[in-house]
Structure formats: C-alpha cells, structure tokens
Structure 1
C-alpha cells in the first residue's frame, strides 16, 4: 500500500493536456514523485508547504538519482537528504550569521520621536529609541539597559544618547522612569538601571552632566519617598523599615486595581485569593510587574499558586543592590560636579544600605544572598539568580562572592545558561527558563570577582542556546528554556520575537568573547 503510494507520479492524460495547454511547468510532486511523497508522509516539515517551496541545489534528475542511490528511510535521514539537496525556508543557509542579524535588527526595532494621539495610552517621546519587539512596541525601563549594551557594542552611540535623553525627560516629567511608556505604567517603575545606562554614554558635556545628576537624584527620591510616611506597619510605598531601624526598599505600585494590560487575568487571580482583599492581591501583582519578574515563585507563598503572591512583603536583593549602585554613582557624579554635600549624603546612604544588605540579605550558612520576608522576619527560601546582583553591584566581599559562585555552579547552571530559579512552576520567571538580563548580571558579577571561567562558561552556554534557536527558527526570543536549549514558555502571553535585551546581551558577549559563537559574526 505504502509502496504504491510512493511510486513516481505519472501524469494522467487529462493533466498532461492541461499543462501543455497552459504552458505550465510540473509541480514538485510531479518532479520528485517518490521523494516528495516520502518527505510529506514522514512529516519532515510540520508545514507541508515548506518542502513544496524548497529550491533545489542541483538538477532535479541528479537529485532523483541520488535519492535512488542513497535510499534514505525515516524522518531524520530524509531531513538530512533534503537539506543537502534543497534550500529550505528557515534553514541557516538562508539566514545571515547571528551577529549580523542582530546588527540588522536595530533599525527594525528603532522608533522615531512622536506625539501620541489624544486618548491613546502612549506617552510621547522627543528622541529616538528602541523597543523590545513583537507585542512590546513601547520603550521599557530595565529592558533598555541590556539593549543599550548591544548598541554600544555595535557603535550606535547616537541612539544611546537619544534613549538617555528620553529617560531623563521621563524623570523630569513624572518624577521617575515608568515601567514603560504607556499611561497605565505610570503608577510603577522597574529595576532602576538609569545610573548604569549613563555609564554607557561618551558625552562629557558638563551642562548635560548636571542635568543627568539632577535626574538621578530625583529618581532616587521617588524610591525613598516612603521614608516620610512610615508608621507602625513598618512599610510605606517603596520603603521598608528593617528590625534594627535601617531602611531598605521593596517593589510597590501606587495603584491596587487590576493592571490595564492584564485586567481579566488579575481579577481572576484576586478572586482565587479570597478572603484576601482583591486590592491587596492586585497591588502585589503590580509590584511583581515592577520587579520585571512577572511572575516567579520568588514572590509566592505557595510556589505553585499565583494567588498566594505577596511581593510587597518581600525586601528584594536585586532592587537594593541597584539602589546601592545608584547611591555610589550619584556620590561620584556629585564629587565630579563639586557638590560635596550631595556626595557626602549619598556616600552615607550607600554605607547604611550595604550594612543592612549584609545583615539581612546575606545567608552565610547557605552561601547565597536572599530576599527578606518582612512579615516572617527571615530570609525567603527561594534560591534564585537574583543572588548574583550584589556581585554585579560590587558590594559583596571576596568571600561572599566565592560562596555565591559555588552555589551558582551547583544549583543554577543549566545546559543552555543560567536558570532563573530552581523550581518548575509554569511561571515564566522560574525554571527551566533563562533570561538575557540575568545572564549578563551573572557574567559581569562573576568576572568582577575573578570567577572568569564560570562567567565565560555561562556566556558560552547562553550564546549557544540563542544561536541554536536562531538557526532553527530564524528568531531572537524574549526567553529560552535553558534545560533543553529551545524557546522558553510559561507566562501570560506567548514567547516574543525581536528581542531587544537578547540582542543586546548576545552582542555584548560576542564582542567580549568572539570565540563563543561559530558563524556568529
């Protein structure tokens, strides 16, 4: 039966007459008969149109002679044969090298200044910028730092300056950089990377430096505003009073309604959390969105149930590491500007923050940094890639860094890069997913403390995952499964293509270590 089905196709007299009358060439099924049937029956390609559209690399008669001679049987053998003798849509042969593709994507992801249409949710920007891609067609705060790493590697200094101008404008307009440039993002920010973005600038104009310093101070004021309203609860807005009276920060959102962009989902999650008040749950969902880790077992009382989210109870190590970096950079910029009072104030704040981080967020017995549960008054059990932020910031001691490196090596390294956490929950910021920003944080932090071999190993695994998926799909994705080296999953929406921070981190890694990727230039 199968043998009959795979015999060379013989044109019926009526078909032959029709083709002759239309002066039409034969179709692939006519030309390749048994080969065409075997490929389609074996489902070598999930879409039958793929092989029908393939372009032969040799004369069809030569291909059919090779098919008769080699007799490939089975899906893998047929796939290898087809790719040897045909150019197939989506194959690596039809794509530019990975590194070149990233360069090609900058103008595709770039956007011009614009004024929003009245009634739309967009926030206007006066300078050019880069979007992450796909469903994310506005500028996002922490994404942009990692995107800018790639812009720096690719000599896109004017675009870096334009984006910095946009961010400074946003701080001057709203008092902070919002999560993204939409009205519904204004009630929260994201991890504060603006000071590090400014480190990427080559502009040394003193007038601009003064304006940028003022923006950094104002953004820091936004994060610390809750210090003025602390009460017996021990927390207000983004500020938390620790047991010894020191101040650290948490993620928070000024609203307690469902997120505009996930209205139905947030209402459903809050309904499952009853009798907890819906507003409390919805604010915790919003606060997790501010963290960028939306969502993760890191924020959940029960790792398998999103409705147990309690983000605002948690003092996160990544946020406090970034704010320590902000304070040290503000102090340095103030010193350069001759503002000794501001330099002294922020130097003292940084020292107090470091002492509180060491006291509450360092878990020596477990060789890791942790988040702190302010209600339970203890470190959370979640072992996550956020533990590497103090190394990235440079606030860890040499002993602490060695301990974190050992824990990372033992618990967070996957075949294809750094795991986000060790738990599989279905949330996108959990295993088996890996994310570009966390790869960079780990690599930079480990290198800072002399762990070059581990740093390069993480980079090698990550670049290999990105390159493999690009070869198979032609896409650079938002997240990846670092266990199986394939597109990542989970979350509220499908995995996105584009993708700003993946492009940026991958470009920066390949710029540092060109030997990481074959055919990547």
Structure 2
C-alpha cells in the first residue's frame, strides 16, 4: 500500500495558487440576499451549492442591469445563470434480503467523491484525494462526521480511502490554518469538534501512514483554537478562548463572521428578528452552535427562559458557554502533541503541551464536574455558573481520557439512570423540537459513550449502549431498507423505532456516520442479531 504523507500534502498546498475563499454572499451580494430572502429554493443550502454557469462577476453585473426592470423574474434569472447541484438518485438501490453489513459495504462507493468532480467557480473547497460524504443534502466532506465514517471504513478494510481522508484534513489545515466545518467556502469562518488527533490515531493502527508526519498539522490546529489567548485577562474571552477568573484557559465555540449562515440565511434572519436582540450577536451564537456540531439543541439556550419557549432559538447564547466535549477533545489534542513531540525528540514541546493538558484537565474538573450529580456539565463563563441540563457530551472526558476513574464510575451510574433509553443513549434530558435533544439519538454520541465507558472498565454499560443502538438501526433498515442521519429512540419497550425528527431540514438518508459507527459495531459484536437483519424493501440511494 502506498504511504500517505502529510509532508507531501503540505508541499502540494504550498505550490498551489492561493485558494479562492469568497463565499456566495461575498460573490453575489444583493443577488444573494434577494435569492435567499425570496426562498427561490425550498432549502436555503441549495443556492449556496449551485454551480454558476458563467463568471460570477458577470452574473452579478447582469442582475444589477436587469433587476429593476418591469416584470423581472428572479427565479427565472437564477435558473438561467445557475445549475442546482441537487442530490440525485444513483443507480444504487438497496437489495431486499441483503444483510445490514453488506448494505453498508456497498454504500461506500456511492458516498465517495473525487476532487475532479467539483463544478468550477462554485463554493466547493478542493482537496487532493477521494473522500466520503454523509449523503443527501450533504454533498461535501464534514469534519467531525468523517471520524465516525472512518471507523466504518476501517472495519470494511477500506484503509486507503481512510488514509486519503486523513491527508485531506492535513491539506485543509495547511491551506486554511484550520479544518473548516465542511469543504465549502461558506464554512471557512468556523470549524467543528476537533477530532483530527483521533483520526491520526485511528489511521496509525493501519498500514500506510505515520502519525509523526502529522505533528505540524496537529500543532497548527491547536494554535488556531488558541488564537487570542496571549495576554487575555481573567474573566474575558477572545475568539474561541476563555480566561477563567483564576487565569486558566478553556475554549468555547465561535465563528469569524456575525452575519446569517449562508446555508440557512432566511432561518437565521427570522430568528434574529423574533429575538428582539442585536442581530449580529444572534448570528454569532447561531454560527457558534453550528461549529459545535450540535445544531441545534436546548444545550445552547438561556436557562432562565420559561420552559414553554425553550424550543425557540431566540435565547441562544452559545458563545457564553464553555462546552465540556470541546475541551475534552482539545485535551486529547494536547496529550497527543505532547506524546508525539517526545517521540520526535522535542522534550521541551512535550513538556509544554503536557502542562497545557494538565491545566485544562484541572479547569474542566473544577468548573464542570458535579460530584453530587456524578456528571460533567457545560459551564457558563459569563455567569460563572455550571449549566443544569445533563447531555451526552458529559461522556466526552472519558472518550478523551481526561476523567478520573472515580468520576467514570459515578458517571456510569448517572448515565444509566438518566440518559440510557431502550433504543440507545439519549442526546439530552430535555425534549424539544431541536434535533440535538430528546427523543433523537445520534451515532456519534453512541460511539463516544461506548468507547469512553469501555476505556474506563465499564464494559457492560458500553455493551448495552452498543447492542441497543444496533437494534435501533437494524429495525429501521429491516423496515425501510436504509440508514438515516438520526433516530428517534424508543423511550419504552415495544415502541416502534423510527428515523429522528426536528431541526431545519428533513431527515437525510445515507448516512455517513451512521454507516461508520454501525459497521464498526457489527465488526466488534459478531454475535448481535443485527447481523441477521435484512431489508424487506428496496430503497433508492440519494447521492
């Protein structure tokens, strides 16, 4: 197998011309606002993913020349100048009678994209190698989704594709200084949960990659998350860094822009209008929540609002919150850099990052661990208060190796009592219309919990979560012949398992990280009855 080199990717990035980072809103200005405001497309993401049929500057000039004319038809103008890149059914149709494991293995080629397929002058960010997309409306590579997809690629013995994706992420760091939320220009203002260290660790277990090659990119990613930390006074925040009253540093989510998300422009404008707050502040909070990957959840809403309005996003306050999972992932990044630096012979850097990790661990435990409840909670740095809603993010310190064994023991009891459902691990204790709340369950959170509890010796709880989740996925696959983005977890025995609901868009089929986690669990649990599950109906796959 060929060796995948981060240095080679860095050399290619350095030799390439400067990337075009203009977003659709930058390019099309008042045309963009008109299209999104008039909802020319039912899904706000459609226009920002369109392929322009001529040079963008020419399209904007044509719009300005025509838009005030009597009878101007905006929808017709867009149809004349743009080609919508809507997901189309591929030639793949799920096979009735096909086992779940074989179905997932057959989906990898369907969900794989190649750089040369990108339409020119659009919003796609170029990467050097093939990659796997989630599916449906998500036709680009996403940051944290990809780690969970890679787990399945490893189980399916698709090591080369997994390695290609790791090098793609290294390329993104070399080119843009960080990993964007997804490979679109309109995602460049933010990242997603930083799992690159976990990706490198996973890839190192397979042939063809050397983890030390990626040390420069790991350090660059850490530097990006810590921008603004130098000289930051206690009780203040800058970008993604919060300085606690005692001077220790933790991180929050952020976005470099304070305008509506381009892929959800009308939704964000509506939320800001209904909130009665400064629109720029609301937009920043919404964008920061998108960086968290939990878009959206009551986790990011003010806790002093009346309960009957908590489903609304008008009280969103994401940048006020220090999330436990983000800081656990950054702890993993710091301990990984420390270990790699020691291996590379740089003892000074190794000590520096070990000290960063220890300071972060101490701050997380001091601010986020509730010994009475036996769980980790997010922290509101502005109010200097621990948040009250228990979420599945509480398990991230176990996944990252940050928690003490006694905390893992207490957390296992808490999770089993308060978040474990017959269908798997609940996302939060709060039920709402937001997709990252009850009743939905997500593959990523199941894996984080299973891996975390297993690492701390709670194999029975890890196995219970795994078996319940496999049963959930298998039930929908058996009935509908597909895997989906999220699932509505059964809260009592004998309820019918269904795909999840809520959120800003319809339930998506595919689906990258569900495939990945499910495939990895099928490999780890060869006796589970999900292996015997077969599709009862055919389902056309949307690319």
TM-score surpassing 0.5?
yes
Q: Deviations over 1:318-340 (max 9, x none)?
A: 00000000000111111111111
Residue of structure 1 equivalent to 2:326: 319
- Which residue among 391, 396, 410 is the counterpart of 1:389? 396
Whole-angstrom distance in 1 between the partners of 2:231 and 2:392: 32
User: 1:305: how far off?
Assistant: 2.2
Whole-angstrom distance in 1 between the partners of 2:235 and 2:368: 20
Residue of structure 2 equivalent to 1:450: 457
Residue of structure 2 equivalent to 1:29: none
Distance 1:104 1:221, change over 3 A: same
Q: Does the CA-based 8 Å contact 1:315-1:373 persist in structure 2?
A: yes
Matches within 5 A, 1:88-487: 94-114=96-116, 116-202=118-204, 209-228=211-230, 230-231=232-233, 234-274=236-276, 276-301=277-302, 302=305, 303-483=310-490, 484=495, 485-487=497-499
- Which residue among 521, 525, 538 is the counterpart of 1:513? 525
Given the alignment of the two structures, is residue 503 of structure 1 paired with residue 504 of structure 2, yes or no?
A: no
Q: Does the CA-based 8 Å contact 1:178-1:186 persist in structure 2?
A: yes
Distance 1:468 1:380, change over 3 A: same
Given the alignment of the two structures, is residue 488 of structure 1 paired with residue 490 of structure 2, yes or no?
A: no
Distance 1:311 1:229, change over 3 A: farther
Q: What's the secondary structure of 2:245's corresponding residue?
A: coil
More helix as a share of residues: 1
Q: What CA RMSD, in Å, does the superposition of the two structures yield over aligned residues?
A: 1.9
Distance 1:259 1:493, change over 3 A: same
User: 1:114: how far off?
Assistant: 2.7
Distance 1:205 1:108, change over 3 A: closer
Q: What's the secondary structure of 2:250's corresponding residue?
A: strand
The alignment covers a number of residue pairs equal to 430
Whole-angstrom distance in 2 between the partners of 1:208 and 1:393: 21
Q: Deviations over 1:174-226 (max 9, x none)?
A: 00000000000000000000000001124899996444100000000000002
User: 1:228: how far off?
Assistant: 2.9
Distance 1:243 1:233, change over 3 A: closer
Distance 1:158 1:424, change over 3 A: same
Q: Does the CA-based 8 Å contact 1:421-1:431 persist in structure 2?
A: yes
Whole-angstrom distance in 1 between the partners of 2:97 and 2:145: 26
Is the radius of gyration larger for structure 1 or structure 2?
A: 1
Whole-angstrom distance in 2 between the partners of 1:144 and 1:205: 19
Q: Deviations over 1:246-273 (max 9, x none)?
A: 0000011110000000000000001111
Q: Does the CA-based 8 Å contact 2:234-2:245 persist in structure 1?
A: no
Residue of structure 2 equivalent to 1:46: none
Q: Does the CA-based 8 Å contact 2:301-2:317 persist in structure 1?
A: yes
User: 1:518: how far off?
Assistant: 3.9
Distance 1:446 1:257, change over 3 A: same
Q: Does the CA-based 8 Å contact 1:114-1:126 persist in structure 2?
A: no
Q: Deviations over 1:461-503 (max 9, x none)?
A: 1000100000111110000001242110000001100001001
Q: What's the secondary structure of 2:372's corresponding residue?
A: helix
Higher RCO (CA-CA < 8 Å; seq separation 6+): 2
Q: What's the secondary structure of 1:489's corresponding residue?
A: coil
Relative to the length of structure 2, the TM-score reads: 0.77
Distance 1:465 1:204, change over 3 A: closer
Whole-angstrom distance in 2 between the partners of 1:294 and 1:119: 28
Q: Does the CA-based 8 Å contact 2:253-2:318 persist in structure 1?
A: yes
Relative to the length of structure 1, the TM-score reads: 0.80
Q: Deviations over 1:83-114 (max 9, x none)?
A: xxxxxxxx998141001101001111011123
Whole-angstrom distance in 1 between the partners of 2:209 and 2:263: 39
Whole-angstrom distance in 2 between the partners of 1:190 and 1:515: 35
Whole-angstrom distance in 1 between the partners of 2:132 and 2:237: 36
Q: Does the CA-based 8 Å contact 1:115-1:125 persist in structure 2?
A: no
Q: What's the secondary structure of 2:407's corresponding residue?
A: helix
Whole-angstrom distance in 1 between the partners of 2:99 and 2:169: 32
- Where does structure 2 lack aligned partners over 5 or more consecutive residues? 1-92, 535-543
Which moved further from structure 2: 334-343 or 101-110? 334-343
Q: Does the CA-based 8 Å contact 2:234-2:243 persist in structure 1?
A: no
Q: What's the secondary structure of 1:220's corresponding residue?
A: helix
Q: Does the CA-based 8 Å contact 1:239-1:247 persist in structure 2?
A: yes
User: 1:115: how far off?
Assistant: 7.2
